[in-house]
Chains A and B, each alone.
Chain A
Amino acid sequence: SQTIHQWPATLVQPVGSPLSLECTVEGTSNPNLYWYRQAAGRGLQLLFYSVGIGQISSEVPQNLSASRPQDRQFILSSKKLLLSDSGFYLCAWSVSRTTNNEQFFGPGTRLTVL
């Protein structure tokens, strides 16, 4: 069966510090991968998606970047965090090359920038 992992689960970082959040998927190959941010009391905002290694699409201009160094690894980064980067970050995957858009979500990372 497929599983998706995110770490860390929680993170408190000072403004201006770097960020690296990691997401890995097991039990599937060549998944589509996604990073979402969920601000307090708001819905999900798609930040990045990837359809393959090294292929990253950004949905909104921001202080963050994403990379996919391996097929089932998706990393969210920042060189210098802003207060507005605080939120709940969710990684998700879906089966590629089908008409099924069902997404499977990780447990999330709660990021607080102070």
Chain B
Amino acid sequence: AQSVTQPDIHITVSEGASLELRCNYSYGATPYLFWYVQSPGQGLQLLLKYFSGDTLVQGIKGFEAEFKRSQSSFNLRKPSVHWSDAAEYFCAVGEGRTGGFKTIFGAGTRLFVKA
């Protein structure tokens, strides 16, 4: 069965510092991988996605993620965090097949940004 693990419940970084949020997945085939961001009291917004090709994926708001098949990981990174990045981040894995539609979400990592 598919699963997604985000080992960090919350992370605190200083504004301007670099960020890496960890994500590990379990999936038998080539996964479709996503990172979503959720601001307090809001819905989720897609940051980036990986389906195939280049394993380093660029997203919105200066985020990037790298797919590492050997480690079953899809970590999210940003070189310099802004205060507005404080939010909850969800890694997700989707069924990589035609007609597949179910997505499994991790438990989320809450990011706190200190001045």
Instruction: Name A residues whose Cβ lies closer than 8 Å to a Cβ of B.
Output: 32, 42-44, 46, 49, 51, 88, 90, 92, 94, 96-108, 110
The residue that B97 contacts in the complex, of A46, A88, A99, with Cβ under 8 A, is A99
- Name which of B15-23, B64-72, B74-82, B104-112 contacts chain A: B104-112
CB <8 Å contact, B101 and A43: no
CB <8 Å contact, B44 and A105: yes
Q: Note all chain A residues with C-beta closer than 8 A to B101.
A: 32, 49, 51, 94, 96, 101
What is the bound-complex CA distance between A102 and B51, given in angstroms?
10
Q: Is the interface of B mostly helix, strand, loop or mixed?
A: loop
Additional A-B contacts beyond A43-B108, A90-B43, A103-B44 (7; CB < 8 A): A51-B101, A90-B44, A96-B101, A100-B51, A101-B100, A108-B43, A110-B41
The residue that A108 contacts in the complex, of B41, B90, B100, with Cβ under 8 A, is B41
Q: Interface range on chain B: under 10, 10 to 19, 20 to 34, or 35 or more?
A: 20 to 34
Q: Note all chain B residues with C-beta closer than 8 A to A104.
A: 46
Known contacts A44-B90, A97-B98; decide if A103 and B41 are in contact (CB<8 Å): no
Known contacts A42-B107, A43-B106, A101-B103; decide if A108 and B42 are in contact (CB<8 Å): yes
Interface residues in B52-71 by Cβ distance below 8 A to A read none
B45 part of interface (Cβ distance < 8 Å)? yes
CB <8 Å contact, B98 and A43: no
Q: Note all chain A residues with C-beta closer than 8 A to B108.
A: 42-43
Interface pairs (26), CB distance under 8 Å: A43-B90, A43-B108, A44-B90, A46-B103, A49-B101, A88-B41, A92-B44, A94-B103, A96-B99, A99-B51, A99-B97, A99-B98, A99-B100, A101-B100, A101-B102, A101-B103, A102-B94, A103-B103, A104-B46, A105-B36, A105-B43, A105-B44, A106-B43, A108-B42, A108-B43, A110-B41
Q: Note all chain A residues with C-beta closer than 8 A to B94.
A: 101-102
What is the bound-complex CA distance between A92 and B38, given in angstroms?
14
What is the bound-complex CA distance between A107 and B39, given in angstroms?
10
